[in-house]
Amino acid sequence: MNTRSINRHATYYLVIIGALLACPLSVLAQQPGKSPVKVFILAGQSNMQGQGTVSGNKGTLESLVASDTEGLYGYLVDEDGQWSVRDDVWITYERGASNVRSGGLTPGFGVDNNRLGPELGFGLVIGDYYDDQVLLIKTCWGGKSLAVDFRPPSSGGTVGFYYKEMLRLVDEALANLGTTFPGYEGQGYELAGLFWHQGWNDRVSDAYNAEYEFNMANFIRDVRKDLGTPALPLVIATTGMTGMQETNPRALALMDAQMAVAQYPEFVDNVISVDTRPFWRPTNESPSDQGYHWNSNGITYLEIGLASGEAMRELVLPRGSGTILRQWWHGQDGASLAALMLDANYPNHPDGSDELASLETPAHWADSDGVRIQGHLYAPKPGDYTFWLDCNQEAELWLSPDGDMASAALIASTSTELQSTPMTLEAGVPYYIEALHMAGAGPDRLAVTWEGPNVPQAVIEGEYLRPWAGAGPPALTIENDGPDNIGMTFATLAGDIVAEGSEAPHVLLFWGQTDGSITPEHWEHVEDLGIQSSSFDIDIADLTPLTTYHFRTFCSNAEGHDWADASTGFTTLSAIATVEHLDLSNLLSTSVTLNGQVNYLGGESPVVTLYWGTEDGQTHAEAWEFSQDLGVQSDQFSVDLAGMAESRRHFYRFHCVNSFGESWADSTTEFKLMSTGSR
């Protein structure tokens, strides 16, 4: 790729943005319009492949539905009693080089079509949570260790083949979204999380077991770096087969390592480990006695997936944007909150406003002002929360059971109780919150504190708050659109001003191979698109073929600024040529003509090689008996073979290579020469 320097004008706008971002951003709830596909990677070994039995009489998904007298699992089947298919949750799983299954989520995406893995339960939870399209990419292989096969680069030694293969399959799946899933509308994608279920092949080795925690921590760091997602949410399902009665020291040590990683300070709130032992079922309740495969119990695999999906949902729950709205009205000397309500300028014409980084006003800020603080509150964990007012003047605290201001109720005040009763909140759900305060003479500070599950009493910080935007003109809002017209070295990136507030904003578009999130200096490139008031786009050139890029739009005007809700990813087309087999011709007793075609994608014409013999060497050149260099090819071509063994079965496969890479024909072709006189 030709790296371009940011021009002087772009640098100027980066300086402006840096100043703006010194205050936390105000980003509202999910933007309207097309949203990127939410992509989750499911990685591991055979238990992530899925060994749970779908159909059968005991410990199967079929038996679960059949015995479900309370209708708890009715969502697994449709009106005709067939397995439900989730069109809003796509899944793709390469079981082997020529065995790829893709489609809507349904039972049967395990190691074969009568098996399921954790993907079913996981996808059901995630699909219910998102309004957007979800994609699950399974990258898993049986009998693989973290110490060797998935070994991350930071652990030293040889990087695991399957670590690299995992990344390759993810890139391949994303590059082929439109081909694999016809419902894909070019809306881009967002890498939203990774679900890991692996460990048996490390558990059986003392050496592998001893370094599991070290390798797992490095795996998390490295995969985030290699995917360009520095805070990618990650869920680890422990190797808990054999249940709560497990006493084997290696087994316990491995599970301890899997649980410990989530407690690292750098992984708090972005990694969760799920203890899977409660989902174990004995052989008398299961289809098999394969303990290392959870006894093939389909219900167990469903439950592991459901629990892991809930854990991932907790990680991807929306958080606050970092601020909350404060407005004030002058000239309230000696007045009460009741008088403020009667002020002709209240509530639509404040004398001023700003945003606070927490639910706390500065002391000695003003005299004789009425203050209103309002926005949305997001609880980090589900459970009961208690709120307190800390102030020296008249104040009230209001909270809604939902996001609607009209539903708010008084929960604490200086005229009643400064402490609320416990309020039950769901994690990640927006609750309208409002504090009113008379800022008189003297230390006129107001603070709202809370206490809840794993939350010690403290001032409510901006990470749990979003400014109120329910009144007045729509807040300044921008969203990504596209990308469109994606080629090998170019793409059209686009966006839309959903709401411009009082004036059309200035727009910048950030892009690069690494997702810089909402930090301008973390992006490689920035494009200045000037003033925009509706849809806009820009053509980007000099891209690298078969490479993943990200982009995110930003806008600003006198009222404030906004980033698109998430970065959008896309992958440029491949410059690797492909080759396919055409019908063979001139089939005789000892000779044949083999025909092929190069699908030239514009990178450069490839060199084609024919591999053939009496055994199928598949995609391993050294396994074929014979090979023949056919030189550079750019369209259809033929090669004559003679002097072959009469009446024998033969196999052949074409291979092509150019400076961008290599590829094999999709499959081997088998043919049998004719016998003498058989015409």
Token representation of residue 132: 């957007």
pLDDT of residue 539: 95
Closest CA to 272 of 200, 196, 219, 201: 196
By mean pLDDT, which of 29-38, 200-209, 535-544 is the weakest? 29-38
Closest CA to 489 of 527, 550, 551, 542: 542
**Final residue belonging to a domain, choices 467, 491, 510:** 467
Q: Above 60 in pLDDT, residue 29?
A: no
Token representation of residue 434: 């409002």
Domain annotation covers residue 344: yes
Domain annotation covers residue 416: yes
How many of the other CB atoms lie within 10 Å of CB of 513? 15
- Tell me the average pLDDT across 263-290: 93
Average pLDDT, the chain: 87
Q: What percent of the chain has pLDDT over 90?
A: 63
What CATH number is associated with residue 215? 3.40.50.1110
CA distances (Å), 377 to each of 323, 452, 537, in order? 10, 13, 35
Q: Above 50 in pLDDT, residue 20?
A: no
The whole model's pTM is what? 0.54
pLDDT of residue 21: 30
Question: What does the alpha-carbon distance between residue 600 and residue 574 come to, in Å, rounded to a whole number?
Answer: 10
Question: What does the alpha-carbon distance between residue 77 and residue 74 come to, in Å, rounded to a whole number?
Answer: 6
Domain annotation covers residue 423: yes
The total number of residues written for the chain in this structure: 679
Percentages helix, strand, coil for the chain, rounded to the nearest 5? 20, 35, 40
DSSP strand pairing (607-613 vs 626-632):
antiparallel
pLDDT of residue 26: 23
What CATH number is associated with residue 368? 2.60.120.1560
Q: How confident is the model at residue 488 (pLDDT cuts 50, 70, 90)?
A: confident
Q: Above 90 in pLDDT, residue 470?
A: no
Q: How confident is the model at residue 333 (pLDDT cuts 50, 70, 90)?
A: low
332 and 275 in a common domain: no
Question: What does the alpha-carbon distance between residue 491 and residue 542 come to, in Å, rounded to a whole number?
Answer: 10
Encoded amino acid at 425, one letter:
L
Residue 371 domain boundaries:
324-467
User: Any residues with CB less than 8 A from the CB of 13 and at least 6 apart, and which?
Assistant: 506, 508, 526, 528
pLDDT of residue 25: 23
pLDDT of residue 18: 34
- Tell me the average pLDDT across 461-487: 80
What CATH number is associated with residue 658? 2.60.40.10
User: Any residues with CB less than 8 A from the CB of 230 and at least 6 apart, and which?
Assistant: 224, 515, 517
Domain annotation covers residue 678: no
Domain annotation covers residue 269: yes
Encoded amino acid at 340, one letter:
L
pLDDT of residue 59: 95
**Final residue belonging to a domain, choices 419, 441, 467:** 467
Alpha helices in 508-560 (DSSP H): none
- Tell me the average pLDDT across 359-386: 86
Domain annotation covers residue 2: no
Question: What does the alpha-carbon distance between residue 549 and residue 513 come to, in Å, rounded to a whole number?
Answer: 4
Query: Do the beta carbons of residue 262 and residue 217 sit within 8 Å?
Result: no
pLDDT of residue 318: 66
Domain annotation covers residue 7: no
pLDDT of residue 442: 64
211 and 105 in a common domain: yes
Alpha helices in 237-344 (DSSP H): 249-261, 298-316, 337-342
625 and 556 in a common domain: no
pLDDT of residue 27: 26
By mean pLDDT, which of 68-72, 149-153, 259-263, 433-437 is the weakest? 68-72
463 and 490 in a common domain: no
By mean pLDDT, which of 207-221, 341-355, 467-481, 514-528 is the weakest? 467-481
520 and 373 in a common domain: no
Domain annotation covers residue 649: yes
The sign of the dihedral angle between the CA atoms of 161, 207, 195, 452 is negative
190 and 45 in a common domain: yes
200 and 126 in a common domain: yes
- Tell me the average pLDDT across 535-539: 95
pLDDT of residue 39: 97
Three-state SS at 14: helix
Q: What is the DSSP letter of 575?
A: -
284 and 136 in a common domain: yes
pLDDT of residue 646: 82
pLDDT of residue 176: 93
Q: Above 60 in pLDDT, residue 677?
A: no
pLDDT of residue 600: 64
Query: Do the beta carbons of residue 435 and residue 448 sit within 8 Å?
Result: yes
- Tell me the average pLDDT across 539-567: 86
pLDDT digits (tens, 9 = 90+) for 164-194: 999 999 999 999 999 999 999 999 999 999 9
Question: What does the alpha-carbon distance between residue 344 and residue 338 come to, in Å, rounded to a whole number?
Answer: 13
Query: Do the beta carbons of residue 101 and residue 109 sit within 8 Å?
Result: yes
235 and 355 in a common domain: no
333 and 360 in a common domain: yes
**Final residue belonging to a domain, choices 266, 298, 316:** 316
551 and 583 in a common domain: no
296 and 395 in a common domain: no
- Tell me the average pLDDT across 289-306: 96
pLDDT of residue 439: 74
Q: How confident is the model at residue 30 (pLDDT cuts 50, 70, 90)?
A: very low
Number of domains in the chain: 4
